[in-house]
Homo-oligomer: A and B are copies of this chain.
């Protein structure tokens, strides 16, 4: 996937008269090395851990750049900070389900949903530009068996669990 990202970014950068820099390369490489969602701070830590640390200012500026270039999309997981999603190139119209128990984020696509939203939008006299659906839900397994595999995993990994308010 990185080659396509590289190309798109280069094109975008050239078209805008901007420059390719070591920092931007490092940030792009780190982001697209996986499909994981991340916050600015999480990415900053990852970069730091990989010996590719940059200033937060540069990181935020690059994240805006990548968003503008449509390589990244800002999503709202309802926790008061921006989460970035690197998977919209692969799956242009996916949405997110957030488990209220463990905070796990699941991506899903559904063509009916897309069509329906478009109908609704036209009926209202508009043309859809972008749509984002977030479903908050609880895991059947936790409800019926009393335990959620993701919850356990999340606790082990010390991940951020849901519950807004920074």
Contacts and interface: CB of A to CB of B under 8 A. Distances in A.
A135 B110 contact: no
B124 A120 contact: no
A97 B127 CA distance: 11
B136 A131 contact: yes
**Interface magnitude class on chain A:** 20 to 34
A155 to B, nearest CB: 19
A93 to B, nearest CB: 12
Contact of A136 (B106, B128, B139, B140): B128
A126 B113 contact: no
Interface of A: 76, 78, 97, 99-100, 106, 108, 110, 112-113, 116-117, 120-121, 124-141, 143
